[in-house]
Structure 1
Amino acid sequence: MPQRRAVTSRSQEPRQRFAEEVRRLREERGVSLRQLAEQLGWDCSTLGKLERGQSLGSPEVAQALDAYYCTPGLLLALWELAVADPAQFKEQYRRYMLLESEATSLWHFGVNCVHGMFQTRGYARELIAAGGHQGATLDRQVEARLGRAALLGATEPPRFRTILYEAVLRMRLRDGQAWREQLEHLIESGDQSNIIVQVLPFSAGPFGLDSTEVTFLGLLGGRTVAYTENAHRGELIEEASSVERLELAYDSMRDLALSPAESRKFIGRILEEAPCDPST
């Protein structure tokens, strides 16, 4: 069978193709980035990052561009392909890790697990192993995750608030001692002046982020970005209005959480229930 030739000279890589089309449509319209930003009401730097392939923005940006260029659904479809590309997930996570190292403050909600910076070795190992890693790969993943905690022990560490859903604390590890160590570590972490640990109990009822693991990063210059993830994918969100909507949901949920002092007692009660013998 003869090799299939590309129909066009445009990129076959989803992220790059999206960037190419965004740039091509603007150039065909004969407007500058600044003019486009003024007409759409979006930040000029955001649109520039789309054209350079540095960011995918949000679906709202793609829809606004589709409406402006009279290309109904084209850019939104390309955007959806780009964010669904596995390579895109890895790139977004690399960028998130870079931003995490530069953050001056972080606030997090854990609906499924403890944030990586607060995970103990036993907890991290069991969690990563459950994802299919083993052998030398598992060892590397565990060391990489534990290394992130160094940020909290820096000379000028960032402020960090973590809110954990009660289900996170109720999910016992197979290794009972490792589970105890993780709960003890959360209590000890809350004693640090730059760290706040809170619990969102089941009794709080429904809340806006019931299926979303999210971390917000406060960066120099006052900018905030968010990273959301589940078991299959992660997404770095930089568009201001999208981040703001997530923050509003987070603030509403934080109002339902126990105070730091109440949370410490809550974790302590769960710790009392934890078996000392892993076999029990």
Structure 2
Amino acid sequence: MPTRRVITGRSQEPRVRFAEELHRLRTERGDSLRKLGEVLGWDWPLFGKMESGETIGGPEVVQALDQHYGTPGLLLTLWELAVGDPTQFREQYRRYMTLEAEAVSLWHYAVSAPPGLLQTEGYAREALAAGGLRGEELNQQVAARVGRAELLKGDGAPQFRTILSETVLRIPLSDPRVWREQLEHLVEAADRPHIALHVLPFDAGLHHLMSTDVMFLRMADGQPFAYTESNFRGELVPESRQVERMQRAYDVVRDLALSPTESRKFISDMLEDLPCDPST
């Protein structure tokens, strides 16, 4: 029997294949590692470690690379194979991140924490550490979460609306200085023309999204999706009737929430009540 010809000269071992593809895409683009880090907002040595196979990074880093190279879903698929454990990266989350990168509008409701797209590095670090992450894995996931904020920057940024339950603003971080930075970051975000930020005060009463963090994504062709999330799992909802039912609940919550102007003042008033020097 003749020897089977290898169709591709690239490695068939998933982790090596992933590293090879990262290196190929970067060199064909003509980017240096340092330039790649500057463009995407991560420390550039991370990309060197990913290309050498020392680490495979986190899904949000890979999503940013897919968006940068114009290869939606390709690198995420290779990353999933490189991980080797499908429980670490479910298909629904992979598809959600691809949809998020292509959406023309994002509408969000937050139960107890700011959306990842609006978290500061300090907030992300404490939140992820509270979930049990440590060491290099923690550093990678913090960088990945902060890096996702690039999605909301630039002329092509999608329209983004978030409604923050007052609970989000009443659970401070252990470091008052970092907590102040997070509140200041929310005020700054509220001033951006493509971001609408609402606060849902406690006195708004009961509503149908009280325990559901949800993101609605609308694609260029008008197709809506929803993604619900807890600390332990996420679920992509593609079925139009179910998405429509959830959107009606979201519309009720939006009507109960403060206006963007009132919400900005609400957070600014909270900042004024904080000590000017949190270390004292």
Describe the SS at the equivalent of 2:221: coil
1:204/1:89 CA distance change after superposition, 3 Å = farther
Alignment match, 1:200:
200
Higher Rg:
1
Q: Cα offset for 1:208?
A: 1.0
Give unpaired runs (5+ residues) of structure 1. Answer: 1-85
In 2, are the aligned partners of 1:121 and 1:142 still within 8 Å (CA)? yes
1:130 and 2:130 aligned: yes
Instruction: Tell me which residue corresponds to 1:259.
Output: 259
Distance 1:114 1:213 in 2: 10
Q: How does 1:69-148 map to 2 (within 5 A)?
A: 87=87, 90-148=90-148
Q: Distance in 1 between matches of 2:121 and 2:274?
A: 18
AA matched with 2:143:
E
Residues 121 and 173 (structure 1), Cα distance of their counterparts in 2 relative to 1, 3 Å cut: same
TM-score, normalised by the number of residues in structure 1: 0.67
CA distances 1:112-163 after superposition (whole Å, capped 9, x unpaired): 1101110000001000110000100000000100111111113211000000
Question: Residue 177 of structure 1 contacts residue 276 of structure 1 at CA under 8 Å; is this kept in 2?
Answer: no
8 A Cα contact 1:89 1:234, kept in partner? no
What is the 5 A alignment of 1:52-71?
A: none
Aligned partners of 2:272, 2:155: CA distance in 1, in Å? 34
**1:233 is the counterpart of 2:233:** yes
Q: Kindly state the Cα deviation for residue 87 of structure 1 after the two structures are TM-superposed.
A: 2.8
Cα RMSD (Å): 1.7
- Aligned residue number for residue 224 of structure 2: 224
Q: Distance in 2 between matches of 1:131 and 1:278?
A: 25
Tell me: CA distance 1:276–1:176, structure 2 relative to 1, closer, same or farther (3 Å): farther
Distance 1:279 1:91, change over 3 A: farther
1:269 is aligned to: 269
Report percent identity of matched pairs: 58
Report how many residues are paired: 196
In the alignment, structure 2 segments of 5+ residues that lack a partner are 1-85
Query: 1:275 Cα deviation (Å)?
Result: 3.8
- What is the identity, as a one-letter code, of the residue corresponding to 1:197? L
- 1:169 to 2:174 alignment: no
**Residues 278 and 136 from structure 1, CA distance in 2 versus in 1: closer, same or farther, beyond 3 angstroms?**
farther
Counterpart of 2:18? none
